[in-house]
Structure 1
C-alpha cells in the first residue's frame, strides 16, 4: 500500500489511485486492474499483453481506460479529455485499444499509463459524486446518477434520465433518497478519511445485486475560499427558520401554509437569476414584487394583496411566495372560506407535482374563464357543487370585464407618462426615475401581462379544441408585429446610429448593471458588416368563416358575452401591449442603471462595486462625495459578504418544507417546446461568448435583452428558465425558431458541454449530437 508519512493514502494517476485504495476501502469494491506504463508498452508489448490475458478476469469483455499523468491532479482534472474503449475481446483488439488510448494523449510521456479492467456488465445504476459543491466548494455532498447499465451515462450526457441530490455534508438532517445513495455518501466519507482530502470527485456504479463499485476517485478542483461548516450551517439554519415561519397561517393571506418557487408567477429565475446581486434584486422588488404586482391585479378585479410582498429571499436567493401568488389570482368576489380552499388546493397540488413550478397559472390555478374552464373546474374537488358554480360565475364575470372593458387601453395610455417630465440627476433623480418607472411603466406592464396571460389561455383553448391549428396561432402572433419583428426589420433598414437610438437601451440582463447595453458594446451584439436580410412585413391574419362560427359557438357554450372578433382584438391588444410596455419601461430602468453607475464613479467606485448596493441606499446619498463614498463602501462591504455567502447556498427550485433546505433531490422539469419545427446544429453558449449564427443558442433566462439573437440567424433556442408564456417563448413562436424553454439548471449545464443538439419541437424531443 502506498501511503504518505502520515498514514493516509496518496492519490496518483487514475490507475494508481484505484490500486492503492483497492485493499483499503471497505464501503465499495474496486474492480481488478492492470496498469500499463508507456515505457513498458513501448519496450515489452507482448509481455504486457501476456500479463493481462493471463488474469482470470480477462476472459470476458475488457475496458481500456485513460490514466495519463496530466489527469486527476490537484490543479486540473482533464475529465473526459482522453479516450476510453470498452467491449474488447481478444489479444488483437486489446492491443489496438491500448495504442489508441495512448495516442489520444497527443504526445504521451514516460509517466503516462493506461488502465485495463474487466468491463462491468451487470450494473443498474451509475453516477458521479462529489464531497463538496463542484462549482463553489460549499460543504455539500452532490450526487448525479442515471438508472442505466451504461457506466458512463452521466459523464457522457448522452443517455438516461439524470437525477441529482444535494445534502449538507455536515448535517444529520440531510437524508439521502435511497439506500444506494446512502452507500455512496458513506463511501465518500471513507475516502475523505483515507486520503485526508476534503474535496473529492468519484465515479461509481451499483451492480445488479446492489454492490457498490468504485470506478474512479480524484481530487476535485474547485476555486474560491473554503467556508467553515459552522458558518454555512448558520446560513442554512436561518433559511430553514424562515421557511418554517411560512408554514403558519397568515391573517392577511388565505391558505394554511406557504411554499416557495423560483419560477412561478413573476419568475425571478428568469428575470434576475438564481443568485442576483443586491442592486438587481432590490430593483426587481421595488419595481414589481413588493407592491406593483398586487396593485395591478387589484385594478384588474383580483383579490387585494397590497401590503404582502410576492418575493422573499433566502440568503439572497429570490423565491416567489406561492400562497400569496395563488391568492392574488382569485377574483375579488370569492368568499374567504372558498379562497382558503382554493389556495390550499393550489399549494398542495404544486407541492405534489413540483414539475409544474413554471406552470402555476396555466395548470394549477384557475384565474379566468376560458373556453375549457369547465374541464379544469372538474379537478377542483375541494369545492362543493354550489361553491364551484359560484366560483365559475365569478370567473366568467371577470373575464367578460377584461375582454369587453377598457383596462387594457387605459394601461396602454398610461405608458405615455414614461416620456413626460423633466430630466433627473443625482440620487434624488434616481429615486424619481424609479417612481416614474413604477407609475407609468411596471404598473401598466403588470396589468397588461395579466391580460396577455388570459388572452394566451383563450388562444390555447382554441388550439386544444381544434378550431385553430398551432400554425394558426403562430400566424396570429406573427401578425401582431411585436417588438422583436420590429427590431429585425429595423436592423435590416436603419443605419447604425438610428438603430441604436431606438434599441440601444436594451441589455441581456435587464436588471443587471454589469450587463452592457446594446449602445455600449454594439459590436458584441450586431454585425453591421454582414449582409442584411430583408424582413417581410407582418402578415395579415384572418379567420375563415367556419373558424369564426366555431369560435362563436365555443364562446356561447362557455356563457361569455363577447364574440370572436372581440376575442381576437383583445388578445392582439393585450399581447402586443405587454411586449410594448416591457420595451418602454426597460428604457427607464436602463437609464436608472446608467445613473447608478455614474453616481458610483463620482465616488471612485465602478459598476461592479455598485452592483452590491441596494437601490434604497443609492437614493439615500447626500451628494457629498466624501460622505457618500464612506456610506457606499460600508453598504458594499456588508452586501458583498452576504452575497458571497449566498453564492454558497444551494436550494431546490421549489421549497415546500424546512427539510428541503438541508437536502433535496432536483425536481423533474418538463420543458416547454415552441413551434412545430426542427433545428439541428452545434450549441452556442451565448453568455460564454460563443457566436450564435446557425447554432442552437443556449441562454440561462428568457430575458427580453436577448432579442438581438433573432437578428443573428440562430437555428434554435434553449433556455434554462422560463415558461410557455415567457418573453423568449413568444419571440420564438413569432419568428418560427424551434425552442425549448425552461429545461432546468442541471439539464442546461449538461447541454452547454455537448457538441450539438437536435431539437424536434413537434415530437417534444431533444437528442444530443456526439
Structure 2
C-alpha cells in the first residue's frame, strides 16, 4: 500500500542565497507534504570550500524565513545520511524524498539512500547564478574589462607529482608568460626559447633598467616582443591575435624596443598595470611554422588540425596571411607519420599529457635541424563546451573506408601494376558538379545519367579507346571521387599505340604524385589528350621517364592524326550530336503539370525511369562528346599563348567573343526587366534552372523570388575588338603548323563546341530538374520534406511512387543515421593509399585565374544559408561549387567570382571569360580563409588572390 505522506529533504549552504537556490527549494516543496531543509555548519562548509561569509546562525535564520521551508535541520557534513536516518525514524510511515541539483556528479549519501529506498529527485541547476559565474562577476568588478579567469596551468600534470582535485580549480588569473614558464622545465620533445617577462607597472617604473637588462640577456640575436594579457589565454575566450606582438627587434636598439613594448601595451584593454609583456629570443633557422588544434575547431572531431607555412617566417599563419592545412586522425600511430609530422605530433602528445582534459591551440616552429620550438600554448576556447565526437566511431568508419579502398585496389592490380588513385576534381570534377558531400539522391542521379556509361560512350565515338566496364565514379563514405587510373587511360586517343598506354598512365600518375595541385589541371598540365601547338615542347618531359625518341614521335604523330580527324569531321559530329539533343529538347516540352498528372495516376516510377533513360541516351552521352570537343578547342587556344603566338589578353578577347546560354539568359533577363518579354515566356525557357542541378532541396528559378535575378545588365561583347592583325598572326602560325588549319576554322570549332557544351547541359538539366520536381511532388503528397527525400537513392523511388510510407521512412532514417556517423569524418582530395584517410594533406591549390583584370572589393558568399535576395552588385561573389543554376549572377554587375571547386575549362570559367569577369576558379582550401574576409584583392594578371587590408 503506497504511503500517503511524503517528506522531502535537501540541504544548502545559503551563504549567497539567490534565485537558483529558490528554484531548488520550491521544487522540493512541490514534491511533498512536508519539506525539511538542512543547513550546513561552518565546519562542514570549510571541509570542501572556503570559510562562508555568513556564520551558521545567520544562514539558518535566512532559510527559516523562507515560506516554502517547513523545518530546518543542522547538517554537520556534506553527507546527508545522518539527517535522513533521523527523518525516517521520526516519520516511519512517510515516503522520504531526497532532492538535489543535477550539477552534482554523485548523489551524496548514495549508499544509504539506495539501501533505505529513499526516492531521489533531480532539480535543474541554474547555471546563470552558479558560484563560478558569480565569482567571475566579482573579479570583473575588481578588474574592469577582464574576463575569462579560468586557468589551466593549475591543471598541468607532472609525473610522480600528483595533486588531489575534488573539483577543477577556478578563477586563477594566468597569462601566456605563466603558461610558458610552467611548461618550460617539463618539456623534452620541444623547447621554449629564452624568455624575459615584465609587467606594465614595472615598465613604467623601471624602464631604463629593463632596457639594459634586455640588451644584456639577448645580445647577439633578434628578439620578439609579445603580448601576455590576462585576457588572452583563458578557457572562456582566447582573444588570439587581438593584441600586438612584434618580430625582428634589435636588443641593442633601445628606441625600437621602447616602441615595440609601448605598442604592445597600447593594444591592451582597460586597466593595464597587472598586464605583462613577454620578450623572447627570436627563433632562427625556422623552415616551418604554424598552429595546431588538438581537435577540429568547427566540429570537435578527433583530428590534429595543422595550419602551417614553409616560407621560414613565423607569423604567416597566425597573422592570417595563408599557409597550408593538414589533418591527422588522433588514433594514428606516430611511427606511420613522415617527418616533420611525426616529431610535431609526438611533441603535441607530450604537451597533452602535461595538460590533460583540454583541447589546445599550440603555436610552433620547426628548425632545419628538426627541433620543435614552442611559441605558445592556450586552451582552445571555441571548443570549451563542444560535444566530442567519439574517436572509436571515427576509427570504425575509417577502417571501413580503408577496407573498401583495399578491395578496389586489389581487384584493379590484377590488371594493372600502378597504384590505384582517386581524385575529387580530376576529369569529371564531382566536387564541382555535385559537391564534396552530395546527398544520396544527387549522387545517385549524377551516377545514373553520367557516370555509368554516358561519359565513356560520348568520348568513345570521338576516337578515344574502348575500355572494360570499370567504374569511373566511386564513393568513399559521403564523398565522390574519380578513378584517376581509369580517367588517364580513357583520355589517351585510340590512335596512340596500345603498348604505350600503360606507360603513359604510369607517367601521368608519377607527375600527379609529384605535384598534387595539378589534379584539377591534369588535362592541361599532365595528360596528352589531343594535339596542341605546344605539344613538342610538352612531350620532351617523357625523355626522363624512359620513353625513347621513337616512342615520343609515335605519340606526337598519333595525337596529330587524332586531332586532324576531329577537325575533318567536326561539323558532321556536331550535327549528329545536335540531332540527339534536339530530340531531348522536344521531349522536355511536355509540361511539368502533365508529368505530375501521370505520376498521380500511378505512372511515377515508369515515368522517372523513362526520363532517366532519355536523359542519358539523348542528353548526357552527347554532352560528354561536346564537352570533350570544347576542351580540345580550349587547349588549342591556350597553347597559342604558351607558344608565344598570342598574349593572355588576346586569348581573353577571343574567349569573350563567344555567346553561350549565359549570354542568352542575361539578354532575356534584360528584356523581361524592360518589359519586352513576358515573364511567363522567360520562365517557360529558364524556369527549370536551380543553384544545384542535382539537389532537390534547391528551388528552381520558377519557384524563387524574381528579384533574385530580375535586373538588367549591360552585356559587354568583344567580337569587334578581335583585330585583323591578331587574326592574321594566328592564321599564319596555325597554317604553318602540322595541324594546317586556318583561323576561321579554329575559331568556328572553338566557338561551336564551347557554346554547344553549355547549351547541351542546359537541355539535359531540364530533364533532371523535372525528375526532381516529380520526386518532390510525390514526397509532398506523403508529407515528406525535400530534405528527407534527398536522403534516398534512385533504388528507393519505387517505395515512394508505390505509396509505402513505412518502408520509405525507415530508409530515410537509416540514411540519416549513416550520414550522422560519417559527416564529421574528413576525407582527402586525393587518395594514393589507405594512409591518406588518416593523414590528410590538403592541397595548396593554384586557382585558375580568368581574364587579366584586377579588382578589389567587398565579398558576398552564396551558400545554403544565404538569402538569394542579397545584394551582389559591385561585389566579388564566392560560390563553393558553381553550376548553371548560378548563371543569374551574370545578370548583376558583379566585380568578380571566386569558387572553391572548378577546373580551368569549367563552365563557370567559360562564363567569366565570356562576360569579362575576373575570377579565381578552384581555390581549394584557400577558399574558406578568403570567404571569412570582408574585402579581397583579386589580381588575375599577377595570379594573386588575397585579403585586402
- Mapping 1:143-542, distance limit 5 Å: 143-148=306-311, 150-158=313-321, 162-172=323-333, 175-179=336-340, 181-206=341-366, 210-219=371-380, 221-222=382-383, 225-248=387-410, 250=412, 256-305=418-467, 307-381=469-543, 382-405=546-569, 406-421=572-587, 422=590, 423-425=594-596, 426=599, 427-428=604-605, 429-495=607-673, 497-498=679-680, 499-522=682-705, 525-526=708-709, 528=711, 532-536=712-716, 539-540=719-720
How far apart are the structure 1 equivalents of 2:415 and 2:757?
28
**Quick check: 281-290 or 120-129, which moved more?**
120-129
Q: Is the 8 A contact 1:362 1:457 kept in 2?
A: yes
How far apart are the structure 1 equivalents of 2:246 and 2:730?
61
How far apart are the structure 2 equivalents of 1:12 and 1:639?
48
Other-structure match for 1:142: 305
Q: Relative to 1, partners in 2 of residues 1:85 and 1:392: Cα closer, same or farther, differing over 3 Å?
A: closer
State the shift of 1:297 in Å. 1.3
Q: Is the 8 A contact 1:424 1:430 kept in 2?
A: no
Q: Relative to 1, partners in 2 of residues 1:533 and 1:546: Cα closer, same or farther, differing over 3 Å?
A: closer
State the shift of 1:582 in Å. 1.7
- Mapping 1:80-119, distance limit 5 Å: 80-81=241-242, 83-84=244-245, 93=259, 96-97=262-263, 100-103=266-269, 108=270, 114-119=275-280
Candidates 658, 677, 691, aligned match of 2:853:
677
1:743 and 2:743 aligned = no
TM-score (norm 1): 0.87
Other-structure match for 2:824: 648
How far apart are the structure 1 equivalents of 2:414 and 2:182?
63
Q: Is the 8 A contact 1:254 1:339 kept in 2?
A: no
Q: Deviations over 1:606-652 (max 9, x none)?
A: 1221221113312553432xx2x222222222222332333233233
How far apart are the structure 2 equivalents of 1:253 and 1:548?
50
Q: Is the 8 A contact 2:730 2:743 kept in 1?
A: no
Q: Deviations over 1:430-488 (max 9, x none)?
A: 33332232223222111110110011112222333344433333233232222222233
How far apart are the structure 2 equivalents of 1:469 and 1:92?
52
Q: Is the 8 A contact 1:130 1:220 kept in 2?
A: no
Other-structure match for 1:121: 282
State the shift of 1:323 in Å. 0.9
Q: Relative to 1, partners in 2 of residues 1:645 and 1:64: Cα closer, same or farther, differing over 3 Å?
A: same
How far apart are the structure 2 equivalents of 1:93 and 1:377?
58
How far apart are the structure 2 equivalents of 1:500 and 1:81?
51
Q: Relative to 1, partners in 2 of residues 1:122 and 1:453: Cα closer, same or farther, differing over 3 Å?
A: same
Q: Is the 8 A contact 1:28 1:213 kept in 2?
A: yes
- Mapping 1:666-705, distance limit 5 Å: 666-687=842-863, 689=866, 691-705=871-885
Q: Is the 8 A contact 2:303 2:328 kept in 1?
A: yes
State the shift of 1:361 in Å. 1.4
Candidates 906, 915, 926, aligned match of 1:726:
906
Candidates 575, 589, 608, aligned match of 2:787:
608
Q: Is the 8 A contact 2:449 2:612 kept in 1?
A: yes
State the shift of 1:118 in Å. 0.4
**Quick check: 425-434 or 604-613, which moved more?**
425-434
Candidates 533, 542, 557, aligned match of 2:737:
557
Q: Secondary structure at the match of 1:612?
A: coil
Q: Relative to 1, partners in 2 of residues 1:546 and 1:510: Cα closer, same or farther, differing over 3 Å?
A: closer
Q: Secondary structure at the match of 2:400?
A: helix
How far apart are the structure 1 equivalents of 2:818 and 2:390?
15
How far apart are the structure 1 equivalents of 2:641 and 2:566?
21
How far apart are the structure 2 equivalents of 1:94 and 1:332?
67
> Larger Cα Rg: Structure 1 or Structure 2?
2
1:6 and 2:189 aligned = no
Q: Secondary structure at the match of 1:2?
A: helix
Q: Secondary structure at the match of 1:593?
A: helix
How far apart are the structure 1 equivalents of 2:468 and 2:781?
37
State the shift of 1:696 in Å. 2.7
Question: Of the two structures, which has the highest relative contact order with CA contacts closer than 8 Å and spacing of 6 or more?
Answer: 1
The count of residues paired between Structure 1 and Structure 2 equals: 748
How far apart are the structure 1 equivalents of 2:367 and 2:556?
55
How far apart are the structure 2 equivalents of 1:551 and 1:253?
46
Q: Secondary structure at the match of 2:703?
A: coil
Q: Deviations over 1:667-714 (max 9, x none)?
A: 342222211111122333333647433233222224232222223222
